[in-house]
Amino acid sequence: MSYDESDALRDQEITYLYEQFEMQYESEFIYKRIEKFYESNREIVKAPLQNLLDSKTLFENEYYTSAFIHAVISIEVGIKSVILKPILYSLTIDDKAGNLLYTQTFKNKSLGYIDPLYYQILEEITELNFKTKIRDNNQLTIWNEWFELQKLRNDVLHQGISIEKLDAEKAINMASYVCDEIIPYVLDKFLNHIENGVIKDGSREYTLRREKLKNNNA
């Protein structure tokens, strides 16, 4: 039997189907590994939430520079530890390898210096793209807002400048957005939510229904 165009077409179709299956398998594997990470690290949201709370307290007492620093810490820890770290873990063979890779790759890096691969995977599984997403009533993308805050943070650390009230307020607003919008949105994709400062099972829709039932039975 000779190899003709129909055979070539069939082989192309088989190759395409295999690639699609492989992509789906990899996506499902990553998804399940991220789920497992959140199950094993329920308190990982505490650090960004506490830094945000500290930032607001410092702001109220007019310690604007300290408030700014804590807000930026809340942003970076929230994105790196709660959003990106689970993705990194999903690509490793076990938690020990994940810890080592996290320390060596982006634990001490600013958000802009983290390998784009992690942001790409995040977009694939959550549809979040920080380089295009813009907050309400804002002209800059979230990515550019982070860049400006990190630049100002570096000026504080390396030049000793003081932060004005407006800049501290901007940082707190972004930290609040990360903790109140971005993190809950991502957790919801994995059927989790934040309750009493820790990660709990159940999507936001589930928790809303549960609260509604409680109120109806009260």
pLDDT averaged per 10 residues in sequence order, the chain, 218 residues: 53 48 56 89 97 98 98 97 90 75 76 86 90 92 95 94 97 98 94 94 75 68
pLDDT computed for residue 18 by the predictor: 42
- The dihedral over CA atoms of 61, 65, 67, 70, expressed in degrees to the nearest 10, equals -150
pLDDT computed for residue 179 by the predictor: 98
Distance CA 206, CA 209 (A): 5
pLDDT computed for residue 182 by the predictor: 97
Residue 56 within any structural domain of the chain: yes
- Closest CA relative to residue 198, chosen from 47, 76, 80: 47
pLDDT computed for residue 105 by the predictor: 73
Residue 213 within any structural domain of the chain: no
Residue 198 within any structural domain of the chain: no
| Share of the chain residues as helix, strand and coil, in percent rounded to the nearest 5 | 75, 5, 20
Question: Over the Cα atoms of the chain, what is R_g?
Answer: 21
Residue 148 within any structural domain of the chain: yes
Residue 81 DSSP symbol: I
Where b means 16+ CB within 10 Å and e means fewer, 77-88 reads bbbbbbbbbbbb
pLDDT computed for residue 31 by the predictor: 82
Residue 196 within any structural domain of the chain: no
pLDDT computed for residue 12 by the predictor: 60
Domain, as residue range, for 147? 7-190
pLDDT computed for residue 26 by the predictor: 56
pLDDT computed for residue 206 by the predictor: 67
134, 18 Cβ separation under 8 angstroms: no
pLDDT computed for residue 214 by the predictor: 66
Number of domains in the chain: 1
Residue 43 within any structural domain of the chain: yes
pLDDT computed for residue 133 by the predictor: 94
Residue 1 within any structural domain of the chain: no
pLDDT computed for residue 116 by the predictor: 87
CA 193, 197, 199, 202 torsion-angle sign: negative
Distances (CA, A) of 175 to 87, 131, 169, 178: 21, 17, 10, 5
Residue 217 within any structural domain of the chain: no
What residues pair up with 212 in beta bridges, in sequence order?
A: none
**Which residues does 201 contact at the CB level (< 8 Å), separation at least 6?**
191, 192
22, 34 Cβ separation under 8 angstroms: no
